[in-house]
Amino acid sequence: MKALLGLLGLAGLLALVEALPYTGLVSADFLPPTHRIASALAGEVGDSGFWHALWDTFVAWAIGLAIAVGAGIVAGIVIGTVPGLRAITASTIEFLRPIPSVALIPLAVLMYGTEIQSTLMLVVYASFWQVLIQVLYGVQDVDPVADETARSYGLGLWARIRYVLWPTALPYVMTGVRLAAAVALVLAITAELVIGAPGLGSRIAVAQASNAVPDMYALVAVTGLLGVAINLGARRVERRLLRWHQSVRGEVVV
């Protein structure tokens, strides 16, 4: 039922976009009707350049996210478990975190030009904080009784990280990854669009420059779909990994 209503809404939007140019409210030059966008999309799908761009964006997103998640988890666990380190780093984190990634674009261009590394740098910077902050929350959430239990049974630091801290932090980590995945896509497209690094973003810029407006819309729609796919995938992974967790577990009869 919910899915049906959602589809109905989407159909409404498509119909509206189809109708608007005919009403004269907006010019068809700026908002082409749906059927022209659709045929542009079909053209894109038939073009190998499109697939290359999609692949480039995906690679930049995936590598950037992987680096950010790895670094965020390791940094979060180290900061959270080494006594005193948290107090030392807190102000630095609060200062660095709000810096918008896009403010680093000039630096990225200076360092890497229009290569994929520029995109990666922005993606990693933006997503790293999302993960780090969540991991820090997670580490703080470790139940002292659970930790004492582990210590009393002779579990060393490494075993306690693996069997107590990590499972406790995992729900937070998953939230961080989900947020980071969304931010990473935004930054990947932004970097490509502004810097011209290879990918969907630069393809959108090219479409705009050559006045291929329907193609531009088609590519924008593709980035939207990519975002939806990423979010759905992240949620699915989350549900699988957190079967035992309160937010996921239902009543189960054993």
Partner 1 sequence: MLLEVRGLRKVYQGKERQVEAIRDLTFGVDAGDLVCLVGPSGCGKTTLLKCVAGLLNPTSGDVLLDGRRVSGPPPGMAVVFQEYGRSLFPWMSVRDNVELPLRQKKLPRARRRSMVDDALSSVGLGDTHDAYPWQLSGGMQQRVAIARAVAYQPNVLLMDEPFAAVDAQTRADLEDLIRDLWHKLGVTILFVTHDIDEAVYLGQRVIVLSSSPTVVREDVDIDLPDARDQLHTRAGNRFTELRTHIYAQIQAAKRESTPGSTDAARDTHLAKQVLQ
For residue 60, count other CB atoms closer than 10 A to its CB. 29
| CA distance linking residue 159 with residue 150, whole number of Å | 9
Q: In the 8-state DSSP scheme, what is residue 165? A: I
Under rule CB under 8 A, residue 239 binds partner 1: no
Under rule CB under 8 A, residue 143 binds partner 1: yes
Rg of the chain's alpha carbons, rounded to an integer? 23
| CA distance linking residue 80 with residue 130, whole number of Å | 16
Q: What are phi and psi of 133, to 5 degrees?
A: -60, -45
- 80, 139 Cβ separation under 8 angstroms: yes
Q: Which stretch, 19-27, 98-106, 155-163, 179-187, contacts partner 1 (CB under 8 A)?
A: 155-163
Supply the minimum distance, in Å, between the C-beta of residue 254 and partner 1.
Answer: 4
Supply the minimum distance, in Å, between the C-beta of residue 141 and partner 1.
Answer: 12
For residue 186, count other CB atoms closer than 10 A to its CB. 18
Q: Which stretch, 52-60, 74-82, 148-156, 219-227, contacts partner 1 (CB under 8 A)?
A: 148-156
Under rule CB under 8 A, residue 51 binds partner 1: no
Under rule CB under 8 A, residue 97 binds partner 1: no
- Comparison of 86 and 245: residue with beta carbon closer to partner 1: 245
Please give the residue ranges that form the binding site for partner 1 (CB under 8 A).
143, 145-146, 148-149, 151-155, 159, 163-164, 167, 170, 244-245, 249, 252, 254
